Amino acid sequence: MSSATSLVWLITGTSSGVGRDLTLAALQRGDKVIATARARSIGQLSQLRERGADVLELDVTSPINKLHEIAKQAVAIHGRVDVLVNNAGYVLVGAIEENTPQETYDQFNTNVFGALNVARAFLPYMRQRKSGSVVWIGSLGGWMSVPDAGLYISTKFALRGLSETLDDEITPLGLRSIIFELGFFRTEFLAASNRSPYISRIEDYKELTAAVEEQFVAYNGKQPGDPKKAAEIIVDLASKKTIERLEGWEDVSKSTDF
């Protein structure tokens, strides 16, 4: 199998941002891509369909049985999924004490539990073929404290632990788990429309959280990183690692930071 091998990708959260850029980068490489989004965002994937992507509705917070059905449907499109990218996620803002138990659950349900269940749904097909990679989109925030986004960055800490442990578990089976931890890129991720609304509930935290919120607004769209270049690098590295495993090569690296 040569380095020009065409792979089949399934990417979550492709209606905008990194997910959309990853889809376009993989298509540009000549790969097949199954682009997914929730029902309310599926209409935003029409341009990706025009560029050659297959489009499938997928909500990562769906029950595991529903995700298994979607995985079966996705695998049937091209007969396999070589690279699964867990990209869907959002930022919950507010001081940790201020965030409600329901908000906390929802944040982890999308960013962690949902991603984990999507991986659980596709891993049986990869194990059967003894090939494939699970990719997780992490964050530089998973290495630091970020007041006003403590629960969000906690989910990114969790993803790194999941990815690296999963890699140890599935590498003997011919599979890979890889986490790409992105820094500051010019996406709409910090835009108010893509974050939970800021609600000051405890006066003691208001000065701190309000200052961070102002920084988010001011920094949005001015981040130094080019997301399209990041997507190209992620696609290149994930493709290389997946193909190396298919060819029986070894690569001990587990995470890539940007």
Catalytic residues: 152
Task: Look at residues 88, 104, 118 and name the one whose alpha carbon lies nearest to residue 196.
Answer: 104
CA–CA–CA angle 184, 51, 8 (5° rounding): 75
φ/ψ (deg, to 5) at 114: -65, -45
Torsion of CA 124, 9, 37, 171, to 10 degrees: 40
CA distances from residue 155 to 4, 106, 111 in whole angstroms, order as listed? 35, 11, 6
Q: Can you give 21-45 as a three-state secondary structure string?
A: HHHHHHHHHCCEEEEEECHHHHHHH
**DSSP secondary structure code for residue 53 in this structure:** -
Q: Which two tokens stand for residue 162?
A: 């999941």
d(CA 70, CA 250): 31
CA–CA–CA angle 148, 152, 158 (5° rounding): 140
φ/ψ (deg, to 5) at 253: -70, 140
Burial of 109 (0-12, 13-18, 19+ CB in 10 A): middle
